């Protein structure tokens, strides 16, 4: 079955960096785009970034563009989110979600369980 398992969440000081991972299994990883979505405590969902199946296309939300970088290693079936210059407002649970298509319209069909990032001094 499709599984996405995030890891790497931690407590970090403002201004520091962190790398999250999302290990995929149960499907052909190199045929699917993947998204990162986060949820601050008690808040709603916020889309962060998406990467195409082969890593050639990447899109970012304005709130993280220039600070966060999405990447993938198809040989390891793993997605990454490199986060720099972290701020307290980046505190959230970070989810990876598989991108599927209905025609040309995308949607997130499977989600991981999330990993918690806390930015605090």
Partner 1 sequence: QSVLTQPPSASGTPGQRVTISCSGSSSNIGSNVVNWYHQVPGTAPKLLIYANNQRPSGVPDRFSGSKSGTSASLAISGLQSDDEADYYCAAWDDSLNGRVFGGGTKLTVL
Binding site for partner 1 (CB under 8 A): 35, 37, 44-47, 50, 59-62, 95, 97, 100, 102-103, 105-114
Q: Which is nearer to partner 1, 63 or 84 (CB)?
A: 63
Cβ proximity to partner 1: between 75 and 105 the closer is 105
Q: Which is nearer to partner 1, 5 or 19 (CB)?
A: 5
Q: How far is the CB of 78 from partner 1 (least distance, A)?
A: 18
Helix, strand, coil shares of the chain, percent, nearest 5, are 5, 55, 40
- Cα–Cα–Cα angle for 43, 82, 78, rounded to 5 degrees: 95
Closest C-alpha to 55, from 66, 71, 69 = 71
Residue 49 or 83: the one with the smaller Cβ distance to partner 1 is 49
């Amino acid at each position: 079955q499709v599984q996405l398992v995030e890891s790497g969440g931690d407590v970090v000081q403002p201004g520091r960096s962190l790398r999250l991972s999302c290990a995929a299994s149960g499907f052909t990883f190199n045929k699917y785009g993947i998204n990162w979505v986060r949820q601050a405590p008690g808040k709603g969902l916020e889309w962060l970034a998406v990467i195409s199946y082969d890593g050639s296309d990447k899109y970012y939300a304005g709130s993280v563009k220039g600070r966060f970088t999405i990447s993938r290693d198809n040989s390891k079936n793993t997605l990454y989110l490199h986060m720099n210059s972290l701020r307290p407002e980046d505190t959230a649970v970070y989810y990876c979600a598989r991108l599927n298509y209905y025609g040309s319209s995308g949607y997130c069909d499977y989600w991981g369980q999330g990993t918690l990032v806390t930015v605090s001094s």
